[in-house]
Structure 1
Amino acid sequence: MSSPFGPAATTAMGSLPGEDLHEWLKVVLDAVSIPFLPELPARQYSDMVSRAAGLVTQLAMDLQPAGWRLTGGNDPRASLDQRRARSRLLQDLDVLEELADGYTGPLKLQVTGPWTLAATVELPRGDKVLADHGARRDLAEALAYGLQEHVAEVRRRVPGAELVVQLDEPALPAVLAGAVPTASGWGKHRSVDGPGAVELLTPALEAVAPAITVVHCCAARPPIEVFRKAGAQGVAVDLALLTEQAWEQIALAVEDDITLYAGVVPTTGAVPHPEKAAETLLRRWHEIGLSHELLKQVVITPACGLAGSPSPDDARARLELLRRTADVVAEAAEA
C-alpha cells in the first residue's frame, strides 16, 4: 500500500497570505507535488465560506455583517454577494487555466464541507442552518451539486489534471459534541451522532467521483471514523494536536489504505529543519506500531492553512520546507 501520488508527496491545505493569485499559483505549481488552487482570504469573497457560497448556485445567499445567510428565495441572482463570490472563483479558474496549460498530474481543490457550512451560514430569520434538519440537508445537496459542476469545469480547463478534492470540516468536532452556540449565545445546538454526520458528508464526497477525496480537520480529536465511513480516501490533520485516541484512529485508517495528509510543518514561529519537522510523525509512527513501509501512504503538509503567515516570504519558506521534510520521511520508509 502507498499514497496514490507516489513517495515523498507534498501539498498544502489551501489558504495563503496576500492577494496575488497569479504569483501564488506559479509558486505552488513548482513548490509542491500536489499543487492546488489557492484560497486568499485577504481578498474579498475569497475566504473558505465565500468560496462555497460561490458554488452553491441552487440556494440564494447574501453576505451580512455577521456572515453568510440564506435569503429564503430560490433565485440566486437576487444575491449580489453570491454573484460576486461566483465571479471571483471563475476569475481564479481563468488564472489556473492560463498557468496550468499543458499540466498533467494531481491538482487539489478545497471547499468548505457541509457540516462546517451548516454551522457557519445563518437561516433567513437567524440562528445557524445547523438548527434546521431540512435546511442543512438542502444546503448539503446544493453543495454536492455545486461541487460536481465545479469539478467538471476544472477538468474542462485543465484536462491533464488528476483531481483531488479536499473538504474542510473544522467545525465538525463541535457539531458532534453539541458545542456550537445558538444565536442567543445562551445555549448550544443539539449534538449530531456519527451516522447522521456520515449521511450529510457522503453526498459531497460521492459527487466528485472519480476525483480523489480528502477531509481536512485540524482538531485534537478529528472524527476520522466518520470520514472513513463517509468514503473519504484521505484525512488531513495537525499532528501536533492529536490525542492518543486520535493516533489510534490514524493507525486504523492507514492500515485500511487511507492516505494520511500529515500536518508536520508549523504555520507559525521559526521554520524548523526538515528532521525536526518530521520528528513527531516518525516517533509516533513507531510508537503506535505502524511499519515503515506504510510511511509511503503519507503526504507531507503544513499543520493547517498558511493565510496567517506574517508575509508571503514566510509562507513560501514553509512550502519549500515540505519537500525536504518529505525526503526525510521517504528515507525512513525505505529503512
Structure 2
Amino acid sequence: MVVPDPVDDTEEAAPLPRWPDGAATGVGSLPGTDPREAAAAVVGELPLLPFLPELPARGVGADMIGRTAALLVDIAVEVVPSGYRVTARPGGDHRRAVDLLRTDLDALDEACEVARPGWVKVQVAGPWTLAAAVEVHSGHRVLTDHGAVSEFAASLLDGLRVHIAEVAARTGAQVLVQLDEPTLPAVLAGTLPTASGYGTVRSVGRNEAQDALRDLVTGLGVPVVVHCCADRPPVRLLAGIGAAGIGIDATRPVFSGSSALPAALDTLGEVWDSGTPLLLGLVPALDPGRPVTSRDLARPAFDLADRLGFDRSRLATLAVPTTTCGLAGATPTWARRALALSRELGDAFLDPPEES
C-alpha cells in the first residue's frame, strides 16, 4: 500500500496592505476643541494617510488614556485625583470618553465625504502605556498586577477590532492602527514610581513586553505601527513584533547629527533592511519661532539614508514623515503648517535631490 504524503493544509497569511509611497501623516493630537475643523484639516492636508484627530484640550476622556479606555470591552474607568482608575461599572467619566470618541468619528466621516481617502490611521495607547497609566482599585498601577495587564490587553484587542470595523465601514478606507507607547522605555527600565512614591514598579522583561505587543499586532488583522517618541525608544524590541512600521522622533540626538550613536543607527539600518518602514518625526511639534522649509526638515532623513547606505529614492517606501510628537501644545496656525510641511516632506521623498 502506498501511503500518500501528508497534506500541509496550513495557509500562509496574505501580506497586509501597505499605504501609498510618499504618504505623510500625523502623530494624533491637535490643538483646539472643534472636531469638525480638526478632521477637515487632517483630511485636507494629509490626503494619502489622514488620521482620526485627538483633541485633549476638551478635557477628561479626550486625552490619550481616556480615549483608549473608551474602547475597552467589559472594563470601565473613572477619574480620581491621581488619574484614571478601574471602576465596577461605567460612570459619567467613561460615558463622556465614549461620547467624545463618537463625535470625533462623526466628524471624520463627514470630512471623508468630501474626499474619500484610501487610508485612515487611528491611534490608541499601547498595552504597556495603558497599564502604566491606569490604576486598579487599590490605587496601584495596573502594571503591578500581571493578571490585570493580561485582561487589559485582551480587552483592548476586542475593543480595537470593533473600532477598526466601524472606522472602515464609515470611511470606506483601509485602517492603519498606531499604538502609542511613550512609557514603554520606563516600563522596561523599572523607573515608574509606585503609588506611595517611595519606590518604583518592577521592570517588565523585554520578552514579556514583546510578546504582549506581538499578540495585539497579530490579533488585529490590519497593519499596525508602534510609536515611541521617547529619547531612546526600544527600536530593536519593536522590530520583533511584526509591526508594519515603527515611529520615532528622528530629531533626537541619538539618531541625528554628529551625536548620533552608531548602535542606534545600526538598529535603524536593520529595520530598513527588513523592509519595515520608519515613521520619522521630522517636523517640530511646536512653532520653532523662525521660518522653516520642508527642504531644511528633510535633511536629517536624507542624511540618515546616506549614512546607512540606502538610496534616497527608497525613502518614499521606507519612511513616512510626521511631526516629532503630537500637536496638542501647538498653536492652531502652526498645527496646520506642520501638517502641510509633513505632506511636503512626503512629496520630497518621492523625488529626492541627489545632494542636500
Residues in 1 aligned to 2:199 and 2:111: alpha-carbon distance in whole angstroms: 48
C-alpha distance in 1 between matches for 2:56 and 2:303: 34
The Cα shift of 1:194 comes to 1.4
Alignment-derived partner of residue 50 in structure 1: 66
2:31 to 8, 14, 17: 17
* CA shift for structure 1 position 38: 0.1
**Secondary structure in structure 2 of the residue aligned to 1:230:** coil
- Equivalent in the alignment of 1:288: 308
Matched, 1:115 2:128: yes
Moved over 4 A (4+): none
Deviations 1:175-209 (A, max 9, x none): 11111111111211111121100122123222321
Deviations 1:237-295 (A, max 9, x none): 10111522332211111111111111111112135111110111111221122232431
Q: How does 1:76-225 map to 2 (within 5 A)?
A: 76-77=89-90, 79-101=91-113, 103-158=116-171, 160-209=172-221, 211-225=222-236
For 1:109 and 1:147, locate their aligned partners in 2 and report how far apart those are by CA, in whole Å. 10
Q: 1:40: which partner in 2?
A: 55
Rounded Cα–Cα distance in structure 2 between residues aligned with 1:216 and 1:103: 26
| Higher alpha-carbon Rg | 2
The AA in structure 2 aligned to 1:91 is T
Q: TM-score, normalised by structure 1?
A: 0.92
Q: Which range is displaced more, 312-321 or 325-334?
A: 325-334
Name the counterpart of 1:299.
Answer: 320
Q: Which amino acid aligns with 1:141?
A: A
CA RMSD of aligned residues (A): 1.8
Distance 1:27 1:255 in 2: 34
- Counterpart-to-counterpart distance in 2, 1:236 and 1:247: 15
Alpha-carbon distance in 2 for matches of 1:62, 1:129:
14
Distance 2:169 2:293 in 1: 40
Counterparts of 1:334 and 1:208 in 2: how far apart (Å)? 40
SS at match of 2:310: coil
Contact 1:254 1:294 in 2 (8 A): no
After superposition, where does 1:307-322 map in structure 2 within 5 Å?
307-309=328-330, 311-322=331-342
Equivalence for 2:5 = none
DSSP 3-state at the match of 1:87: helix
TM-score normalised by L of structure 2? 0.87
Task: Tell me the CA shift for residue 65 of structure 1.
Answer: 2.0
Residue 162 of structure 1, CA deviation: 1.0
Cα displacement string for residues 27-69 of structure 1 (whole angstroms, at most 9, x for unaligned residues): 1111012101100000122110011110013112111122111
The amino acid across from 2:102 in the alignment is: L
SS at match of 2:134: coil
Structure 1, unmatched stretches of 5+, are none
* Aligned pairs, number: 326
Instruction: Determine the C-alpha separation between the residues in 2 that align with 1:18 and 1:246.
Output: 36
C-alpha separation in 2, matches of 1:28 and 1:321? 12
Q: Which residue type is aligned with residue 62 of structure 1?
A: E
Aligned to 2:298: 278
What CA deviation, in whole Å up to 9, does each residue of 1:189-233 have, x standing for no partner? 111121100122123222321x22100000222112222222211
SS in 2 for 1:62: strand
Is the contact between residue 13 and residue 302 of structure 1 (CA under 8 Å) also seen in structure 2?
yes
In the alignment, residue 308 of structure 1 is paired with which amino acid? G
Deviation at 1:334, TM superposition (A): 7.7
Q: Which amino acid aligns with 2:185?
A: P
Counterparts of 1:302 and 1:190 in 2: how far apart (Å)?
32
The percentage of counterpart residues that share the same residue type is 40
Q: Which residue of 2 aligns with 1:229?
A: 240
2:76 equivalent to 1:60: yes
